[in-house]
Amino acid sequence: MGRSSPLCVPCSVESNEASEPWCVHGEARRVDSKGNRSLAASILFRAWQKEALEKLEAHVHSNFLAVATPGAGKTMFSLGAIRRALVARKVHRCVVVVPTQHLKLQWALAAEKFDIHIDPDWSAGEGALPSDVHGIAVTYQQVAANPGALRRLVAQAFIVLDEIHHAADSRSWGDGIRHAFEMAPVRLCLSGTPFRSDQSAIPFVRYEGEEAQADYEYGYGEALRDKAVVRPVYFPRIKGRMEWTSPDGSAHAASFEEEIGRTLSSQRLRTALDIEGEWLPAVLLKAHRQVMHLRREDPRCAGMVIAMDQDHAKGIAKVLRERMGVKAIVATSDDPDASQKIAQFTQGKDPWIVAVRMVSEGVDIPRLKVGVYATNTTTDLFFRQAVGRLVRATEGVRQQRAYMFIPDDPRLRLFAAGIAEKRRHSLRKPDSEGEDFSGELEADRAEPDLTQLSLFSAISAVPLDEAGNPLDASPVETLGELDELEGAEEIPGMVNQEPGEDSTSSYALKELTLQGAVPTPEPEASLNAPSPRSRKRKLREQNSAQVRILVHRTRKGHAQVNVELNQRVGIKRITEATVAQLERRLEVAQKWLSKL
């Protein structure tokens, strides 16, 4: 496919032509004589996104499952679909359901580029939505906790169920989304990889046997062939010999190459991942050297470690700090500032982030190019989602390779082999048809007996090179080469290797008409004006500050002051107020204070 002229999203104006006014970030927006801005008439979509949108809009049923490889642009596709439905007045609202708190904010920020106002802070107790809000972003857990509150909002709403396979994580989650959204006219289900439901069917998904059937699918192999959509991922796998004591007190020793039972394999992997052993620190050092090597071309290149649990994540960060001299960002679910840390890391230059599950799925951090799979979760779905954090291509960077360092565990080796085969097939045979992700390898879902876990004890974990000798963690020049899943084939671009020529070609962008203004929200008065979401948050904070002063001056209670202000403005509660109503409420409070 040939490259189209360089265009500024979301305008269809060539970037080398003079066109005014332009937004400060290079996104062109129409600005009228009064300074109001709106999205330009057209937006550039990748070929698969346009094809999927056309298929979605021609779909006669309410449910539509789109499976697209991580990094392909599912969020942009979904927001384009929402915007077209809002403009056509086929729907009046939208609800986006995501697995984690951080993804709510990520969706809200992405929606702002489409002039869609999504509130990520909505809660069931807030009542009706303000009239200047197009929709909300909630987690699956929120839906399960109060599906009735959402059911009242969705009669004319476009529903997006992001990473829909999470609805199978809990019976209550599946029941909750069914009750909450069964009356919605459109339900767009998204997933980054094909999935199966071994125990219970997920609502709004069509099955053949236990396999979910996608209405549109765009795989990793297809994305690689399209170029500039995703990166090819390589898997340096590190061998090792481990010694441990099982919960029953018996001693064991085995390398990754030895065939042992499922239970002992899980114990062997846990031993390798012990931060007190030699295996994990040696792998972290090799991965860090790879990050530093890639930073010569891409100074913001970063690495990600996926840990077993919160304590393990903190221990890994300590190893990176004490042995490599770098500070790693730790993002775990018990940290109330985790979402903010991820957002800052995404925009910053820190070299490492360590997480358990918060970064393993859905989070968009394009500068991640190196990963360390340091978790004992051995399911194919989780592995593919983790690898998906590394695949998003970065504009303006010549070499687009990524590297996931993995233990040479047989299960992980097989999962990586499936992805590597698609990479080889796509990069070496661009004219042939690629395979999809069907026929996934069966994952090892067995978990150790938690009542016996405290009896498990890791004794030692020694990393080995290909000859079976201890892998030295000394300077890079003395390190032996790592093999890869292809056998003796060298991994291109690894540290100490000369980067190969990367035959980058272009991918085609398709112009999709997005005419008409999105109904409901009030236009912003300035190109530099904050988003409706941030304006509303600021106004609520200012209103709260005025209420505190009024309480102090009038000697009335908080509830009484709030009720009086709400009555003067004509709202029931502050959470239902629009930006204009919040501004009027603030003016009323200030006038009240001036009379005291």
pLDDT averaged per 10 residues in sequence order, the chain, 596 residues = 33 30 32 44 78 91 90 89 93 92 87 90 82 90 92 93 81 87 94 67 83 86 75 87 86 89 91 91 93 90 92 94 91 79 87 81 80 91 85 72 91 85 51 35 33 52 63 38 43 60 38 59 47 80 87 85 88 84 89 86
Its domain, for residue 575, covers 532-594
Q: Is the residue at 493 inside a domain? A: no
Query: Who's near 50: CB < 8 A, 6+ residues apart?
Result: 510, 512
Q: Is the residue at 522 inside a domain? A: no
Question: What is the three-class DSSP state of 420?
Answer: helix
Q: Is the residue at 485 inside a domain? A: no
pLDDT of residue 347: 87
Q: Could you tell me if 245 and 314 lie in one domain?
A: yes
Q: Could you tell me if 153 and 27 lie in one domain?
A: no
Q: Is the residue at 112 inside a domain? A: yes
Determine the Cα–Cα distance for residues 477 and 261; give it in Å rounded to an integer.
37
Q: Could you tell me if 171 and 247 lie in one domain?
A: no
Query: Who's near 327: CB < 8 A, 6+ residues apart?
Result: 317, 320, 321, 350, 352
Length of the chain, in residues: 596
Q: Could you tell me if 180 and 276 lie in one domain?
A: no
Q: Could you tell me if 27 and 71 lie in one domain?
A: no
- Which residue, 174, 203, 218, sits at the end of a domain? 218
Do 579 and 532 touch, CB atoms closer than 8 A? yes
pLDDT of residue 180: 93
CA-nearest of 200, 156, 154 to 179 is 154
Q: Is the residue at 379 inside a domain? A: yes
Q: What is the pTM of this model?
A: 0.61
CATH code of the domain covering residue 176: 3.40.50.300
| Strands in 141-256 per DSSP E | 157-161, 186-191, 207-208, 211-212, 216-218, 233-234, 237-245, 251-255
pLDDT of residue 351: 94
Q: Is the residue at 118 inside a domain? A: yes
- Which residue, 149, 184, 218, sits at the end of a domain? 218
71: left (phi over 0), alpha (psi -120 to 50) or beta: left
pLDDT of residue 501: 35
Q: Is the residue at 434 inside a domain? A: no
User: Any idea which residue has 């796998």 for tokens?
Assistant: 237
In the chain, the number of structural domains is 4
Q: Could you tell me if 260 and 404 lie in one domain?
A: yes
- Which residue, 202, 218, 234, sits at the end of a domain? 218
Q: Could you tell me if 30 and 81 lie in one domain?
A: no
Q: Is the residue at 496 inside a domain? A: no
Q: Could you tell me if 118 and 135 lie in one domain?
A: yes
Q: Could you tell me if 377 and 335 lie in one domain?
A: yes
Q: Could you tell me if 152 and 231 lie in one domain?
A: no
Do 371 and 304 touch, CB atoms closer than 8 A? yes
Q: Could you tell me if 168 and 234 lie in one domain?
A: no
Q: Could you tell me if 205 and 354 lie in one domain?
A: no
